């Protein structure tokens, strides 16, 4: 029996041209769902305007249908999505980590999981169906990956570290259909927030607040120097042993036998 | 001329001139017994006896000396009756405060200081980190099992909120750490958050979004997710970091199982994210040995501009000002002299190991461990050693 997968899609924006397009993280969620192949029955969902041209980008990836819950601009889409998903009860819900437009707080997956009673996997990069539920790799900083698993139903947010979305094809976009469901509009988004253009902030310099004035001056002007162990013309084996021991000592390599 | 000489001779033994008694400090010093003989120990570095004029000057100075030693142990600031509590939940990735965690504590300190409150921190019980220097007033240890368990952690934060009733709860905005836990807590409490806070004051929190193009300003809500470098880490006097009673975490249904970290291909992740980089420069000619060494150590490959220009490595592997600014935990450089542009690229590296034939190269000065040898000889020896240690001889 195929697993029912719902993919939540939002409208992204190109960073330079500001034109609407598929959101990068949501397109990756579609890619992960399509990679499940015949083991998954994919339903793509979008809450907003059915005439949105960016939806063609998702159809061009190979989705057959996108279901659009018609909602006016500037209203909270959470009630509509929660109502629809509570009715259709998919076992797995995939979406990007945060929206690319508006104040993308990244709260929607958490509120949805809370409303549907689903487990939540954050920031996943790979996905597999296991016997008991869902196995996934979670993307951690520094390129590390953690294996996690969760029982169904699960909602997973897809990280930008997951595989890049497949290329868009015009014929596939033409073949795809958009189904519209009319739902009552949600409440307007709370308006006590003031928006202003982002000011770039310089990266912080290394701070030296403690110590004497001479120490602070030295910290600000001196070339950053290492601990400075020096081996001059060692035998290659001796040099290799010194490097290996240093890497072990600093915990870069795990001690032999542990891995 | 002669008159002057006579006067001098007269004054030196008698020290009486014009009815006044003239003090001769040199004579006093020589006649007085050594007041603190322990001070004239030989200096361990040079072996010479070190003269301490302050000790020789006698007991009237001793009082200030002891005062100074008292002042040297810095006082710890205590907050007895705080007006409010600010709860900070650091990530404590592998049990240590990261620089992002310290920025988070700086934000908590800022909010606490304007409201005359105190900073409380939720930590797993038995955390070895020193929180007194990190501006923490109260320490709330929770009995949490090690390993990744976001649901248990969320339960712990909710219990801590119920116990301390903090005015604000602060998390570090990291994708699988505080950003995840903070949103889980907010969803459980049905509250809004200020996410990705890049500027913070007691009146206003600025969330950066719209793809990084806009700041959304609002009064700081109860739950704040603080971005890195939003505030400066706490500096100055030590705080009390008083440990509170250990909090038992209520049992929550756990639906997520942790399978541990998995080994990944280090070259598959972007260079900027890499944890350990082995890098090659102009001094490397044996490229098979270089790739072999990187594979044996499980490191990502990088290169200087020269190596990439020559086509030995793809452009995406270039480290430096015109390539990638990398921040791995360790950077192992083979045959790289260290042009300023390259050193800019590795400015944020925590540890640098350099293998180079030139003793006076800038990379050797930068390195924590520098080896003056030919990279062609060291690389095969290193990969052989790493394989032997890993799989046995």
Query: What mean pLDDT value characterizes chain A?
Result: 87
Q: What is the pLDDT of residue B9?
A: 45
Question: Is the pLDDT confidence value at A122 over 90?
Answer: yes
What is the CATH architecture assignment of A3-182? 3-Layer(aba) Sandwich (3.40)
Average pLDDT over every residue of B357-374: 92
Question: Is the pLDDT confidence value at B62 over 60?
Answer: no
Q: What is the pLDDT of residue A220?
A: 63
**Cross-chain Cβ contact A192/B186 below 8 Å:** no
CA torsion sign, B40 to B43 to B48 to B53? negative
**Cross-chain Cβ contact B329/A192 below 8 Å:** no
**Cross-chain Cβ contact A143/B264 below 8 Å:** yes
Q: Sorting pLDDT into bands at 50, 70 and 90, what band is A50?
A: very high
Question: Is the pLDDT confidence value at B361 over 70?
Answer: yes
CATH homologous superfamily, domain B266-388: TPP-binding domain (3.40.50.1220)
- Give Cα separations from B344 to B272, B307, B325, B348, B359 (angstroms): 14, 17, 7, 8, 20
| CA atoms lying within 13 Å on the CB side of residue B207 | 24
Question: Is the pLDDT confidence value at B98 over 80?
Answer: yes
Length of chain B (residues): 393
**Cross-chain Cβ contact B180/A123 below 8 Å:** yes
Query: Residues 106..135 of A with a Cβ closer than 8 Å to B: which?
Result: 106-107, 110-111, 113-114, 119-123, 135
pLDDT in tens, A208-248: 666 778 777 776 665 555 556 888 999 999 999 999 999 98
Q: What is the pLDDT of residue A103?
A: 78
Q: Sorting pLDDT into bands at 50, 70 and 90, what band is B7?
A: very low
Cβ–Cβ contacts within 10 Å for residue B177, how many? 26
Residue of A nearest to B212 (CA): A198
Write out chain A residues lying below 8 Å of B298, CB-based: 253
The 3-state DSSP class for residue B200 equals strand
Name which of A107, A224, A246 is nearest B369 (Cβ-Cβ).
A246
Average pLDDT over every residue of A6-30: 92
> What is B85-243's CATH number?
3.40.50.620
- B144/B247 Cα distance (integer angstroms): 9
How many CB pairs below 8 Å do chains A and B form together? 241
Beta-strand relationship, A177-182 and B242-243: unpaired
Mutating which of B174, B371, B372, B379 best tests the A interface, going by the most A Cβ atoms within 10 A? B371
Write out chain B residues lying below 8 Å of A102, CB-based: 209-210
Average pLDDT over every residue of A77-90: 94
pLDDT in tens, B148-166: 999 999 999 999 999 999 9
**Cross-chain Cβ contact B370/A229 below 8 Å:** yes
Q: What is the pLDDT of residue B11?
A: 42
Which H/E stretch holds residue B294? helix B287-297
What percent of chain A is modeled with pLDDT above 70?
90
Write out chain A residues lying below 8 Å of B330, CB-based: 247, 250, 252
- B45/B42 Cα distance (integer angstroms): 9
Pick from A233, A242, A259, A252: which is nearest to B382 by CA? A242
- A141/A162 Cα distance (integer angstroms): 13
Question: Which residues of chain B form CATH 3.40.50.1220?
Answer: 266-388
Which range has the worst mean pLDDT, A2-16, B341-355, B379-393? B379-393
Q: Sorting pLDDT into bands at 50, 70 and 90, what band is B290?
A: very high
Question: Is the pLDDT confidence value at A157 over 50?
Answer: yes
Question: Which residues of chain A form CATH 3.40.50.620?
Answer: 3-182
Question: Is the pLDDT confidence value at B176 over 80?
Answer: yes
């Amino acid at each position: 029996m195929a697993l029912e997968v719902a993919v939540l899609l939002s409208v992204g924006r190109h960073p330079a041209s500001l034109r609407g397009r598929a959101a990068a993280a949501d397109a990756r969620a579609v890619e992960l769902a399509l990679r499940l192949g015949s083991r998954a029955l994919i339903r793509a969902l979008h809450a907003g305007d059915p005439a949105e041209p960016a939806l063609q980008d998702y159809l061009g990836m190979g989705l057959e249908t996108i279901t659009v819950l018609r909602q006016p601009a500037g209203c909270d889409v959470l009630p509509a999505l929660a109502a629809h998903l509570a009715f259709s009860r998919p076992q797995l819900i995939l979406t990007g980590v945060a929206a690319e437009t508006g104040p993308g707080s990244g709260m929607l997956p958490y509120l949805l999981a809370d409303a549907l009673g689903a487990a939540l996997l954050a920031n996943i990069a790979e996905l597999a169906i296991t016997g008991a539920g869902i196995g996934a790799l979670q993307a951690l900083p520094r390129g590390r990956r953690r294996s996690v698993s969760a029982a169904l139903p699960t909602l997973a947010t897809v990280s930008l570290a997951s595989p890049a979305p497949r290329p868009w094809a015009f014929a596939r976009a033409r073949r795809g259909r958009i189904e519209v469901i009319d739902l009552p509009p949600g409440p307007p988004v709370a308006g006590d927030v003031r928006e202003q253009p982002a000011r770039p902030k310089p990266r912080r310099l290394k701070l030296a607040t403690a110590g004497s004035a001479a120490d602070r001056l030295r910290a600000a002007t001196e070339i950053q120097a290492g601990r400075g162990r020096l081996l001059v013309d060692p035998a290659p084996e001796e040099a290799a042993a010194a490097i290996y021991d240093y890497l072990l000592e600093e915990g870069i390599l795990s001690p032999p036998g542990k891995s | 001329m002669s008159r002057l000489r006579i006067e001098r001779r007269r004054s030196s033994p008698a020290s009486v001139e014009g009815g006044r008694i003239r003090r001769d400090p040199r004579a006093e010093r020589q006649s007085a017994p050594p007041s603190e003989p322990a001070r004239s120990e030989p200096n361990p570095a040079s072996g010479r006896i070190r003269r301490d004029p302050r000790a020789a000057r006698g007991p009237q100075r001793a009082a200030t000396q002891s005062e100074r030693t008292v002042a040297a142990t810095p006082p710890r600031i205590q907050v007895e009756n705080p007006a409010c509590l600010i709860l900070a939940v650091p990530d404590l990735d592998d049990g240590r405060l990261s620089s992002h965690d310290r920025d988070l504590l700086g934000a908590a300190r800022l909010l606490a200081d304007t409201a005359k409150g105190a900073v409380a921190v939720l930590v797993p019980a038995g955390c070895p980190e020193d929180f007194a220097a990190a501006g923490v007033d109260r320490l709330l240890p929770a009995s949490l099992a090690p390993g990744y368990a976001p649901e248990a952690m969320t339960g712990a934060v909710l219990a801590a909120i119920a116990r301390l009733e903090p005015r604000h709860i602060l998390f570090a905005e990291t994708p699988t750490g505080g950003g995840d836990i903070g949103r889980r807590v907010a969803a459980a409490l049905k509250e809004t958050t200020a996410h990705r806070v890049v500027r913070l004051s007691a009146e206003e929190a600025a969330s950066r979004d719209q793809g990084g193009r806009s700041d959304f300003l609002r009064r700081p809500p109860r739950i704040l997710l603080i971005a890195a470098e939003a505030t400066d880490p706490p500096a100055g006097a030590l705080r009390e970091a008083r440990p509170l009673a250990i909090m038992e975490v209520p049992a929550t249904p756990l639906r997520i199982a942790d399978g541990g970290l998995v080994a990944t291909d280090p070259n598959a992740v972007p260079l900027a994210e890499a944890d350990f980089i082995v890098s090659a420069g102009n001094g490397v000619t044996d490229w098979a040995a270089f790739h072999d060494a990187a594979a044996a150590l499980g490191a990502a490959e990088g290169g200087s501009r020269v190596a990439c220009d020559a086509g030995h490595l793809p452009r995406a592997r270039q480290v430096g000002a015109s390539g990638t600014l990398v921040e791995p935990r360790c950077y192992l450089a083979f045959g790289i002299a260290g042009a300023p542009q390259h050193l800019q690229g590795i400015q944020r590296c925590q540890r640098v190991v350099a293998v180079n034939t030139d003793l006076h190269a800038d990379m050797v000065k930068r390195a924590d461990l520098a080896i003056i040898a030919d990279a062609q000889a060291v690389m095969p020896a290193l990969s052989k050693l790493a394989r032997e240690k890993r799989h046995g001889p």
